[in-house]
Chain A
Amino acid sequence: MTNTNIPITPASGVVPDPIQAGLAAGWRVTDCSLIDKDQTLEADVVIVGSGAGGGVTAELLALAGLNVLIVEEGALKSSKDFKMRESDAYPALYQESAARKTRDKGINILQGRTVGGSTTINWTSSFRTPPATLDYWNKHFGLKDYTPEALAPWFEMMEQRLNIAEWAAPPNENNDLLRRGAQKLGIPTAIIHRNVNGCWNLGYCGMGCPTNAKQSMLVTTIPSALQHGASLLTRLRAERFVFKGDRIEQLECLALDPAGLAPSGRRVTLRARHFVLSGGAINSPALLLRSAAPDPHGLLGKRTFLHPTVISAGLYPQRVDGYAGAPQSVYSDHFLHTDAIDGPMGYKLEAPPLHPVLLSSTMSGFGAQHAAMMRDFSHFHVLLALLRDGFHADAPGGSVGLAAGGAAVLDYPIGDFIWDGVRRALLTMAEIQFASGAKSVAPVHEHAGSYTSWDEAKKAINALPFRLLSTRVVSAHVMGGCGMSDDERLGVTSSQGRYHGVSNLSVHDGSLFPTSIGANPQLSIYGLTARLASGLAQQLTGQPAPRLMRT
């Protein structure tokens, strides 16, 4: 096994770039925006997407000796490109320049679109799937072998592979304010586990890690797969599966222009024994819808979850410098446990990194008010509440459909049940922020002001009109849409990740989840897809599956 972790060098030196080194060593990588004629390629397994699910699957199958071909719509970017500039990072690394939205534009969605997918630009927070979530899957979707005990070895393997451990350095002030405010109110918090190795504590995880400390798919599983003979096609959009009987005969792909916005006119056709779909919970169902995949019970693309997230900004006398240091290190699950999982909506509390574009575009208002807020940029502490959707009939998630031209689009309506959770979450965050010493607190809402006491904030928040476009709602966690159940009336994929009714298609990404996770989903995707890919490797080779490990 090759160790693909990169030793860090002193700040005076240049950070080694494993991608450039691999390309120089002859990895099979094709930038399809540069091809000048149509192509047909064959492999044992074609994997669509190079994020958390695709990366883990690619490494496992390549180590098992299979000929693997990875399709990625984004470009191959690496540490030499990661200059910690929002103006470069968002267009280069995110779906729709980090401005992907639901159909009515009510919810802004952050998702990666680059080699490594969202793992290249996420904030490294790593949680095992909560036992209460697995218990719900067992009861409601019959997923009997998805228990904490059965999954523990897979989480352990991925934690070791990606160096996931509790963050040992002190939290930055933006996170510590959550800890201190919650402590004053008797609300327990804990320290987040992160997938980093030799982290410089810079705070720019969301723009691509400039030091290769983040153990994203970009610097771990994908390089390993490529070293074991896998091929990577970038700037290539998976357009449509072509079915013959119960099998996928081929995958038709469109090469994109160098900007990644429009098809170049070149086509690539991919044939394989088996196909693995790992495009994420918006693009995976959309590809299946474009392909008219079997969906006898009308479940495909339904029950798509977002952890709808609301925001509260507190202003402090001291500098907070929310752009500096590990973006997320403190969390509280207290409000996930105050009610039953299928009762009033629970929420997880975290802090986000604060960078000028992200903060200025997220904060509501304009003119003098907005300018005054931006002048205090370094004194802001922001909290997020991630609402746990999918566990109650009134939080059934959204649905992925196709816009004109076949592009994916997500409808996500929000009703009174969810708004009740939003209201309670905004109240909680304001109370914590006043407890940690905020001079004023502004819930991010077009009708909200900036409040200087908890009493004032409480009255105002309770009186706010809650509806989309007025309340700022965001999401960085898209899940569901190809939900698992061995009962075809309850899910389009089996507990083994096989798509029902198609004999050579697996889905390995967050779209498998029958509910939201109730925690940042990356480790859930790693652990679950490691198990599914190991089973697949065994079925395809007749040999025991390899294990992923760091050396």
Chain B
Amino acid sequence: MQTSRRSFLKIGVIGAIALAAGGAVYRLANPPQAGRFILDGDARAVLAAVIPSILGSVMLPSEAAARAQAVDGCIERVNIAIHGLPLSTQKEVQDLFGLLALGPARRFLAGVPDSWSAATPQQIDAFLQSWRVHRIGMLQTAYQAMHDLITGAWYADPAHWDAIGYPGPIKELS
């Protein structure tokens, strides 16, 4: 699988059109599976790397195991949120994570040299900031998709309401 993705990419040009092409490349390598988003290892690795940078490290527990658990919980909520989107949008999200899993795209479009799990917080922050204000609209929309999914998933969780001073809805009716 890895080989076929890379060999295909070698004949293309990494650049402005790479994101659009990336989705197609990913689909060639990974034939669509009934249209629903699948939280595979690729998507999980990207999310685990990006979640602390999006939320801000202070929002996460500082102790390693608790932090990992909080990130896992957020990944699960992101997964649930994606499954509420139209199937065509789920496919776009799948393509985004698939693209980010491709080595050349990760290196040249996201600026993350090694694997997602080895990326430093500074590298992730730089990646997010670059896509946030990128002149290519598609990269901006990809940043915004991650921003909205991750912040929405985190702050939907009643466990995180105390930290922002939100009491939640009245107990009698909720």
Contact = CB atoms under 8 A, between A and B. Distances in A.
Given A370-B151, A371-B58, A371-B59, A84 B169 contact: yes
Given A370-B55, A377-B165, A86 B156 contact: yes
Q: Is the interface of B mostly helix, strand, loop or mixed?
A: helix
Contacts of B141: 104-105, 469
Interface in A63-116: 83-87, 90-91, 96-97, 99, 104-106
Interface string A137-179: 0000000000000000000000000000000000000000000
Nearest to B137: A469
A374 B155 contact: yes
Nearest to B164: A377
Contacts of A131: none
B167 to A, nearest CB: 8
Contacts of B54: 366-367, 370
A403 interface: yes
Interface residues of B, number: 45
A368 interface: yes
How extensive is the interface on chain A, given as a class? 35 or more
Contacts of A262: 35, 87
B147 interface: yes
A473 to B, nearest CB: 12
A322 to B, nearest CB: 10
Interface string A325-368: 00000000000000000000000000000001101110000111
Contacts of B165: 319, 375, 377-378
A405 B155 contact: no
B113 interface: no
B126 to A, nearest CB: 11
Given A370-B151, A372-B56, A375-B164, A85 B172 contact: no
B156 A87 contact: yes
Given A378-B166, A405-B88, 10 more contacts: A11-B170, A202-B169, A210-B174, A357-B155, A360-B151, A366-B56, A366-B132, A367-B55, A371-B59, A377-B164
A367 B165 CA distance: 19
Given A261-B87, A360-B154, A469 B172 contact: no
Nearest to A12: B172
Q: Count chain B CB atoms within 10 A of each CB in A12, A366, A371, A374 and give the residue with the most.
A: A366
Contacts of A91: 81, 84
Contacts of A468: 137
Contacts of B53: 366-367
A470 B77 contact: no
Given A85-B174, A377-B165, A370 B85 contact: no
Contacts of B166: 323, 356, 377-378
Given A262-B35, A356-B155, A99 B89 contact: yes
Nearest to A379: B165
Contacts of A367: 53-57, 125, 128
Contact of A97 (B81, B140, B147, B174): B81
Contacts of B125: 367
Contacts of A84: 169-170, 173-174
A514 to B, nearest CB: 30
**Top-4 shortest CB links A-B:** A371-B56, A91-B84, A84-B169, A356-B155
B148 interface: yes
A447 interface: yes
Contacts of B56: 366-372
Nearest to B145: A105
Contacts of B81: 87, 91, 97
A84 B156 CA distance: 11
A11 B164 contact: no
A87 B74 CA distance: 13
